[in-house]
Structure 1
Amino acid sequence: MRKTEPTIAGRQLDRGSVIGPLVASGVHVDDCWSDWGPPDGQRPLLHGLTLTDLRLTRVALSGAVLRDVRVEGLSCDKTSMFFFANQFERVTLRGRVGTVILNPKHVSPEYERAYVDAIRAAEADVEWTLDITEAVGKVEVRGYAADRIRRDPETQVVVRRENLLDGRWRTFDWEGTAFRVGLDLMVRAGWPDTVLTVDATRRNHRTQLSVLRRLRDEGIADQR
């Protein structure tokens, strides 16, 4: 396994390509994207990666398989913080990660349903998909199976769809937090569950913690 400090720019991640194993630090990836296609064996594979202080600008990573990947320290611009239709198998995010939004739906309507189905099947075959226990920042997990995600139960809680059916949550005082937005997305999209996470980098992080405690006390979020 080699150690390197690369700068990668202006590249397409082709279908059938494999990246890894690799240990890298201080990497800047700019103006890179993944080729689109169906969720088959030709999806790009990123495996055995250990990346420290990764910076992404103008990056669109979608439809890839990430296996045994560890990222400690992540910075994304507004283009790069969205990750669509990626399959996660033992992927760890640690340290400051800025804003990261993870969604199993592909941005192309042609592949949208197929990717969700493929990712759901893959989730059932692994012990865990994501570990965000030590991630610091705004981590939004939209539609991935909550029971396959390793998390800090104090700052990252699971809310299940069945606990929202009585509508009580709509009357809550959310105290300026954005958690209601996450629950609205969950209800509209039909996800069975979602993970709400405290962003410890925000000034209102103590208020966020208080709101999550109330959700647990009300039986809306899981107790642990």
Structure 2
Amino acid sequence: MTALRDIEVVVFDILGTLVDESGGLRAAIRAALPTPSDDASVSALLTVWQQHHEREQHRIEQGRRAYANTATLDAEAAQQVADRAGLTDPATISRLATAGRRLPPWPDSVAGLERLTRHYPVLGLSNASRTTLLRLNAHAGLRWHQALSAEAASAYKPAPEVYQLAIDAAGCPPQRVLMVAAHAWDLRGAQAQGMRTAYVRRPVGDPPTSSDRFDWEFNGLSELVSALTEK
């Protein structure tokens, strides 16, 4: 197994791993509603949004829909939420559709990336569209040496061609590239392409199962950065 000292490039998932995607979307939905709503109602609308993304990305993966980037899927999801909630104001719906550009970083993300970029080339690899990723990075204050959108591959993770974007950009063997994510499904995809894997625990995400064998697991970004920089 590759040791941490052999890692040359670090690649981060962004949505859910470095920014609180569900929390940010929940806040945006709550702000769009014309009257105060209870948590259960907001959660139900968030589920509408998330299920639309999951369903449409799955259709794209199966070839039942042509590729559409997340900006398109966000606009569709926002309209579905609006229809369910009875929202009719175009400006409110339009702002909701761009909520993915304004997701808050987890408390350790900005400082952790800042520290790590002094020691390693660091890439972001996200399913977010190019424009969404640009605005999100600026809003959250995430520092990268390069941020890659799956839009360049016209696919969504865990499609192999998305991870290949990062491997090609790294310019080194995949076993020297570390993929970091809070989602086991994402790490499985990277692992299948020969990348090393590190799971970072977040309040929400997709934790490893008993059958997963990732290279490393950390309780937070600070723990991972310390392991990489103090080895």
- Both structures adopt the same fold (TM-score exceeding 0.5): no
TM-score, normalised with respect to structure 2: 0.27
Structure in which a larger fraction of residues adopt strand: 1
Structure in which a larger fraction of residues adopt helix: 2
* Larger relative contact order (Cα-Cα within 8 Å, sequence gap ≥ 6): 2
